[in-house]
């Protein structure tokens, strides 16, 4: 039902809203705003998940790089000592 109201509101021009009754006008705009709010929230959550994934990937690479560097240092010292 809300999807149908949203579709109707999207097709209307702003001047068309003036021609409708206040009840219809408010209902259509409420449906449109509600669905847009949900879409925006979903998009923001997807962006946040992507950002967290990117940060996590960078952190993993940095840790692996540091561990590899430390292992190389230890192997070099071990060869000199023994």
Q: Is the pLDDT of residue 52 over 90?
A: yes
Measure the CA–CA gap between 12 and 18, rounded to whole angstroms: 10
Measure the CA–CA gap between 75 and 59, rounded to whole angstroms: 24
Q: Is the pLDDT of residue 75 over 60?
A: yes
Q: Is the pLDDT of residue 57 over 70?
A: yes
Could you tell me which residue, 26 or 81, shows the higher pLDDT? 26
Q: What is the pLDDT of residues 6-28, one digit of tens each?
A: 888 888 888 887 888 889 889 98
Taking the whole predicted model, whether its pTM rises above 0.85 is answered as no
Measure the CA–CA gap between 66 and 82, rounded to whole angstroms: 24
Residue that is written with structure tokens 């109201």 in the block? 5
Domain hosting residue 41, numbered range: 2-81
Structural domain count of the chain = 1
Q: Is the pLDDT of residue 78 over 80?
A: no
Could you tell me which residue, 18 or 31, shows the higher pLDDT? 31
Q: Residue 5, Cβ neighbours under 10 Å: how many? A: 18
Could you tell me which residue, 17 or 75, shows the higher pLDDT? 17
């Amino acid at each position: 039902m809300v999807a149908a109201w949203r579709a109707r509101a999207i097709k209307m021009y702003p001047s068309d809203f003036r021609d409708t009754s206040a009840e219809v006008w408010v209902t259509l705009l409420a449906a449109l705003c509600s669905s847009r709010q949900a879409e925006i929230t979903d998009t923001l959550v997807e962006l946040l998940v992507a950002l967290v994934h990117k940060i996590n990937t960078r952190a993993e690479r940095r840790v692996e790089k540091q561990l590899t560097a430390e292992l190389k240092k230890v192997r070099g010292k071990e060869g000199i000592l023994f």
